[in-house]
Structure 1
Amino acid sequence: MKSHMERFLGKKSSIQRKVVVVYLLIAVLPLIIITLSASAIYYRSFLKEAYGLVEQNARQHETVVQERMSAYENVLYELITKKDYIELSRNINTGDENSLLVDAAHMEALLRSCVYTYDGIRSITFLADSGRYVTYSKWYGSMNEYIWSEPEQRRDIHDEIEKSQKLTFIATVNLSNSTRKDDYVILMGYPVKNLRTKEQSGVLVMALEDDVLLFDDNRVKQAGKMDNSGVTTVIVDNNDKVLAGGGPANVNEGYQNYLKEEFGGRKGISENRRKIGGTEWTIVNIIDAAVYQSEIYHFIKIVFILMITITCLFFVILYFISKKYIGAIQKIAQNIHDFKGTDADQIITDLNEEDELYVIVRQFNTMTARVNSLVETLRQRNEEIKIAAISQKHAEIKALEAQINPHFLYNILDSINWRAIEHDEEEISNMLGTLGSLLRYSVSNIDMKVVLGAEISWLEKYIFLQRDRFQNSFDCQYDITDEAMQFPIYKMLLQPIIENIILHAFEDVKEGGMIHVKAFVRLDGKLEISIRDNGCGMTEETLAEIQKEISEKGALNSKSIGISNCLHRLRIYYQDEADIVVNSKPGKGTEFILIIPDKQEGRIYG
């Protein structure tokens, strides 16, 4: 026995034994664990999906019943609001015997037209307060065959509907007066009154087939027996009595008794209940988990059979393959171990070139040659990169040397300003002076912090030039507290938003544009700046896109370059401590709200 095992599995320290053990540990054992875990997960997800489908079916079921009840209510309301019907009901209730037959015939014609409106309507009956009645039924030709021929039963139904003085459902009633066969229906009733005087003449009762409470497929079966889906649906009332879905024999039977009769003491039975809105009825889905378990167990059984078959097949294949190739593999391993990679260019073996294992040797030799080639190529590439870096450095130095000194621009502007003063061009002089101040402020270190007052002072000059550019079509108002004026912020933080408003919000504005800048220090110590305009505003799509990109901290598109500039700098300077909020309505304007933390480190310029 031991010799046979060694022949199949190999000796204790052999590669063949190691391959078998490694396969068991790496392939078979994880496969068993994965199979068991996957089966458990599949079972839970299968049940979850099944219960989800049951709940979805119950919601659809509720909607269907509500729609059907609404349709029947419309038929009822349409009839009791007809002037002819109201007059006929009053005549039948209080009229003399001579005209009773004529009025009853006219009312029966009206009832007949309504009965055939929907298939689910079995009959319609008018019960007068005086005890008279008129009825029309699809099924019953003789008055004596169903309950309307019994004065006491008519009175009980009349009084129940009259007492509620609203739409009333009575479920479930045996419409048949015969002992041979039951005929259960749902009664829907409403008082009949004169719309002007509110005088009541009786009640109108519509008899509906009890299967209107079920889906169409259940209406066809009507037996209530569980199908292959493992789900049975019944309808119960507020007293937990079965109204529909359990078959005629179970109508008006207690729900718990129905469960005992149909399912006995079977385990794994659960239920899902859903109230039907507008009624006192409940949809009950009875779920038999054993149906699902049998399918899961069948699936697991198939998986295990496949796994065992594949494992056995592998061992057989492994035995025949290893017998032929293990020796050759050991030779190759020894040759690779002896290969130093310096003196020899390839592995020397005595393998036949037609042998499959010779491919390993050939590929290793090819790889060695490629490695040597790649090393040489890499060395040449490094030399090229060094040369390119030196050239790039020289180009940058030349570009720096070619830059214009900003002081040259300041001096030229001062020269032009003095010439304007000499020619009494005060307006041009003011604009040049303002422009020079703007350039000195903006060209200097943009990462420098200043107090808000300095930023507002620069902003006033910027708006002064822009107002002159756009023929004073807009103005700007400031509402800034003294505490806020001393709050430190980074330079040029507000300018992109102001420029965005001028170029986009006031694009078609000729006059009356207004920008409101408000700033104050909040209780939490942060500065809140509000910049609001009365321009054209943003479309809902544009606003939603900007708000989404702000919340997701992504890059904004080129259409919002001003906002993108401001947002990008806020994230660089303050990370997640700062925030920006955008509110806008088309035709009403836009508001930008910046929340900036107090960072006192570093030098702050006033």
Structure 2
Amino acid sequence: MIRKLLNRYKSYSIAKKTLIILLAGSIVPLMIMETITCMIAASTLKRQTDILMESNMKLSQKGLEDYFSQYDSIIMSIYTENQYALKLEKLNVWDSRNYYLIKKELEDDLENISYLHPEILGIAVVTQKKECIGYDSVTNSTMNSFCFPNRDKSWLEVADETFLTTRTVYSDMINRKEDNGTSRNIIYLGHRIADINNYRQGTVGSILICLDEERIRETYSQEDKQDRTVSFLCDTNGTIISSNRAELIGTRIEPATKVRFSSIYTKPVLNGQYVLVTIRDNRELLKDFKYIFEVIFLLTILIIITSILIMLRFAESLQVRVEKITSAMDKAYKGDYTVQISHSWQDEFGIIARHFNHMVTKIDQSGRMEKEALLREKNAELKALEAQINPHFLYNTLDAINWIAIENEQFLISKMLKNLANILRYSIHKSNGVVSVRSETEYLKQYIFLQQQRFSFSFHCIMDIEEEVMDLKMHKLLFQPLIENSINHGFPGKSGEDLITITIRKKGERHLMFEVKDNGKGMDSELIHELNHYDYSASSLEGSIGVRNVIMRIKYYYGDEGHFEIESDENGTIVRAEILFE
């Protein structure tokens, strides 16, 4: 029975098979589906919550970094402004005549800084003699100080530490009461002051800034109406120096501390000077998940019904596409290579259709090219038969004419006949063979000599050929048509002195670059475009037979390794060709 069902299933079309598989997959037991869905939903909810918390932690970390960096900027401005160091040097000498004047100037400077930064509770400089000179924004005084009181020398410990290090020093959180009984949590930032023009003198004092813990808390504390999140800032010893829960400030936490049903997130601040910690209670999320579970149960039933409708539509669409592709394949199998699959599909079927269209197009083009190649081969055989004239007859005839010219003292004619005989001999002998650049150059020189005689030296020719390329191998008679094209079609030019420059250079490790440049009247732009984009396989371009011959031979000999390019304007033409040397 099972084998019979399997055989029947195998006989179905791919669309029906897909529909059966999708339908079977949609009726998996509901409880298993719901359990898996709930697990995924729970994992997703937890992951999204973690992503959100991580994003908030990065923002809080950035806020704290920016908060402390502005005070580092104040400290660095004082550190780099050498007048503070110079004034402290004088204050460190008790018998300074300007002692009180300098002290007053420092108090005024620090008061100005406090006005510019009202969030600073107090700012002071400490001399080597441990004398504190500053301004207190809490008491608005330079004498009666809340931040730097004489009765509590905790600030002096920070000042002493700055004398021992070059980095910024951060104190522990300190709880201090104002005169009216109000309690504040404060923290000190300190840095040494030295004469930047005389480092050998060492530290001459220190700068201290007093900050309010509440202001620090505002940079990282996140609003939580349900009180599910605890955030705090602790130092490297685990002491909490700032928190959105005031009762936690000053307490210690252990690194291995774990809180049940909670997630802990941490971020280092100020290169590990502090650690920002956020603990989130997940029990509220678990309560909310009950409602999610019920919603998922109802949605599962709805999804199954919707899925069946979608699968029916999908199977129908799949069947149409498969039939369209197989129909086109049948036509191609019967020899119709012009068939194309018209579609707007963007999926894998679209890729199959595009590849099929490209394949049959290539097959069709290859068939046409093969027919054209056979036709060219037959034409070439006919032309070869027609051109089979005994070359010895030509050589003997030219030699006889040469002796007649010598007997009549026509030495120029004799030289021209010798060059012509050499050209004919070079051209006929292995016309498609490989020769050295030196041999090809000698041939071109003889050809140019004849042309100059023909045109009464109306043009000049310069050959710029590197010696290192002379013994490299190339196909013969490859570039003579380019020179002929310049002479016959480029001249006369506008300059009055017609010139051809032939350049042969080595390019890279494998290529030769051949360039023919003239100062003639240029070429038509349409013809340039056609030659630069010439489809040598189609051979449809009329005229410019010599240039076309060069392009076709380069492509036949060198394939994609050969390149041809023409540039031309009213001031002349440059033809460049690039080939592989042997």
- Indicate the RMSD between aligned Cα atoms, in angstroms: 5.9
Mapped partners of 1:103, 1:272: distance in 2 = 49
Mapped partners of 2:249, 2:234: distance in 1 = 9
Match of 2:279 in 1: 286
Match of 1:18 in 2: none
> Is the CA contact (8 Å cut-off) linking 1:125 and 1:205 kept in structure 2?
yes
Identity percentage of aligned residues: 12
| Gap runs ≥5 in structure 2 | 1-19, 308-326, 339-363, 403-413, 449-460, 479-500, 516-551, 563-577
1:404 aligns with 2:380: yes
Mapped partners of 1:52, 1:437: distance in 2 = 80
User: What's the CA shift for 1:77?
Assistant: 1.8
| DSSP 3-state at the match of 2:466 | strand
2:296 aligns with one of 290, 297, 303: 303
Mapped partners of 1:203, 1:252: distance in 2 = 26
1:475 aligns with 2:466: yes
1:51 aligns with 2:50: yes
User: What's the CA shift for 1:204?
Assistant: 0.8
2:269 aligns with one of 269, 276, 287: 276
User: What's the CA shift for 1:115?
Assistant: 2.3
> Is the CA contact (8 Å cut-off) linking 1:146 and 1:178 kept in structure 2?
no
1:515 aligns with 2:506: yes
- String of CA shifts for 1:382-414, please: whole Å, max 9, x gaps: 89999xx9x989986994586333746986997
Q: How does 1:183-582 map to 2 (within 5 A)?
A: 183-198=184-199, 199=201, 200-210=203-213, 216=219, 218-219=220-221, 232-256=230-254, 265-267=259-261, 269-308=262-301, 399=375, 403-405=379-381, 407=384, 424=415, 440-441=432-433, 471-473=462-464, 475=466, 477=468, 514-515=505-506, 518=509
| DSSP 3-state at the match of 1:164 | coil
Distance 1:569 1:87, change over 3 A: closer
Mapped partners of 1:52, 1:95: distance in 2 = 60
Mapped partners of 1:57, 1:464: distance in 2 = 80
> Is the CA contact (8 Å cut-off) linking 1:123 and 1:207 kept in structure 2?
yes
User: What's the CA shift for 1:124?
Assistant: 0.8
Bigger Cα displacement from structure 2, 55-64 vs 189-198: 55-64
Mapped partners of 2:274, 2:444: distance in 1 = 72
Mapped partners of 1:433, 1:232: distance in 2 = 99
| DSSP 3-state at the match of 1:29 | coil
> Is the CA contact (8 Å cut-off) linking 2:138 and 2:146 kept in structure 1?
no
Supply the AA of the counterpart residue of 2:236: N
> Is the CA contact (8 Å cut-off) linking 1:478 and 1:517 kept in structure 2?
no
Specify which structure has the higher proportion of helix. Answer: 1
Distance 1:305 1:100, change over 3 A: same
> Is the CA contact (8 Å cut-off) linking 2:267 and 2:277 kept in structure 1?
yes
> Is the CA contact (8 Å cut-off) linking 1:438 and 1:462 kept in structure 2?
no
Match of 1:579 in 2: none
Supply the AA of the counterpart residue of 1:249: E
Distance 1:278 1:567, change over 3 A: farther
User: What's the CA shift for 1:478?
Assistant: 7.0
User: What's the CA shift for 1:247?
Assistant: 3.5
Distance 1:434 1:250, change over 3 A: farther
| DSSP 3-state at the match of 1:126 | strand
Bigger Cα displacement from structure 2, 28-37 vs 76-85: 28-37
Mapped partners of 2:57, 2:42: distance in 1 = 22
> Is the CA contact (8 Å cut-off) linking 1:61 and 1:215 kept in structure 2?
no
User: What's the CA shift for 1:75?
Assistant: 1.3
| DSSP 3-state at the match of 2:236 | coil
- String of CA shifts for 1:194-251, please: whole Å, max 9, x gaps: 33334443211112333565674x4585xxx6868x6654322111222333433322
| Gap runs ≥5 in structure 1 | 1-20, 315-374, 442-453, 486-490, 496-509, 519-529, 536-560, 571-591, 595-605
> Is the CA contact (8 Å cut-off) linking 1:226 and 1:232 kept in structure 2?
no
User: What's the CA shift for 1:282?
Assistant: 2.0
> Is the CA contact (8 Å cut-off) linking 1:61 and 1:214 kept in structure 2?
no
| DSSP 3-state at the match of 1:148 | coil
Distance 1:440 1:123, change over 3 A: same
Match of 1:451 in 2: none
> Is the CA contact (8 Å cut-off) linking 2:173 and 2:241 kept in structure 1?
yes
- String of CA shifts for 1:358-398, please: whole Å, max 9, x gaps: xxxxxxxxxxxxxxxxx9xx99xx89999xx9x98998699
Mapped partners of 2:284, 2:225: distance in 1 = 10
Mapped partners of 1:34, 1:464: distance in 2 = 86
Supply the AA of the counterpart residue of 1:158: A
Q: How does 1:579-590 map to 2 (within 5 A)?
A: none
User: What's the CA shift for 1:93?
Assistant: 3.3
Distance 1:567 1:126, change over 3 A: farther
> Is the CA contact (8 Å cut-off) linking 2:147 and 2:210 kept in structure 1?
no
Distance 1:255 1:125, change over 3 A: same
